Chain A
Amino acid sequence: QQQVKQSPQSLIVQKGGISIINCAYENTAFDYFPWYQQFPGKGPALLIAIRPDVSEKKEGRFTISFNKSAKQFSLHIMDSQPGDSATYFCAALTDSWGKLQFGAGTQVVVTP
């Protein structure tokens, strides 16, 4: 049972374009929503995270948009670069569980 549903499964974008990845969750107890980035042969690494008391968070070219009422959040990668080619995972956490629930991942390919 996937607690966090992520789409699309894969994404191809041209250099300079915008990559958008969407996630949805059911459990309203989730109170922390991080995004992880994974390069081939490496473990995932934290990219950016948001809490439900804000609707948007921006760090450089990466922005999280959060819609609490719709139980959805998304990652926007602006001015996508070939170095952004990786697999991106959204995740959700509730403190009482002490574990991150991950989405299935989105493979992003940025073409030159």
Chain B
Amino acid sequence: EAGVTQSPTHLIKTRGQQATLRCSPISGHTSVYWYQQALGLGLQFLLWYDEGEERNRGNFPPRFSGRQFPNYSSELNVNALELEDSALYLCASSLVGRGYTGELFFGEGSRLTVL
């Protein structure tokens, strides 16, 4: 069974540009979560989508946005990129919509570098 897949693996952008990251959850999982992993800051919650709806949002500015498609895949968009947006962006999926079990299945991440 395929795990959570993310693309691209690496992405280099310049300040002010836009970045789009994509995620395909494990088959059967309806919830998708996005986390930002910056050096020394652990995993910061960005967004949670379930059944196509945004269910919760972390403490990030509106230029971080996303959506979930009917096939439950998701994309994260970061507009007006800033240097501090450089990080590993992790996508996770879960079977239970509210993530109650706590078990999230993570992809290997997309490394975004902003120059």
Q: Is the CB of A46 within 8 A of B103?
A: yes
Chain A residues within an 8 Å CB radius of B90: 43-44
The interface residues of chain B lying within 8 Å CB-to-CB of A89 are 42-43
Other-chain contact of A43, B44, B97, B108 (Cβ < 8 Å) = B108
**CB-defined contacts of A95 to chain B, threshold 8 Å:** 98, 100
Contacting pair B102 A43 (CB below 8 A): no
User: Is the C-beta of B8 less than 8 angstroms from some C-beta in chain A?
Assistant: no
Instruction: Tell me how many residues of B have a C-beta within 8 Å of chain A.
Output: 30
Contact of A99 with B58 at beta-carbon distance under 8 Å, contacts A44-B90, A46-B104 already known:
yes
A28 to chain B, nearest CB (A): 17
B104 in contact with A98 (CB, 8 Å): no
| Given A42-B108, A43-B106, A43-B108, also A99-B45 (CB < 8 A) | yes
Pick from A32, A42, A45, A102: contact of B43, CB below 8 A: A102
- Within B70-106, the residues touching A (CB, 8 Å) are 90, 92, 97-106
Interface contact A105-B42, CB-CB below 8 Å: yes
- Is A100 among interface residues, defined by CB-CB distance under 8 A? yes
Q: Verify A34–B102 contact, CB threshold 8 A.
A: yes
Does A101 lie at the interface of the complex (its beta carbon under 8 Å from any beta carbon of B)? yes
Shortest Cβ-Cβ A-B pairs, 3 listed: A43-B106, A104-B42, A102-B43
A residues whose Cβ falls under 8 Å from a Cβ of B? 1-2, 6, 9, 32, 34, 41-46, 49, 89, 91, 93, 95, 97-105
Which residues in B have some Cβ–Cβ distance to A below 8 Å? 4, 33, 35, 40-45, 48, 50, 55-56, 58-59, 90, 92, 97-109
Would you mind naming 6 contact pairs between A and B with Cβ atoms under 8 Å apart?
Answer: A44-B43, A46-B102, A49-B102, A91-B102, A93-B100, A95-B100
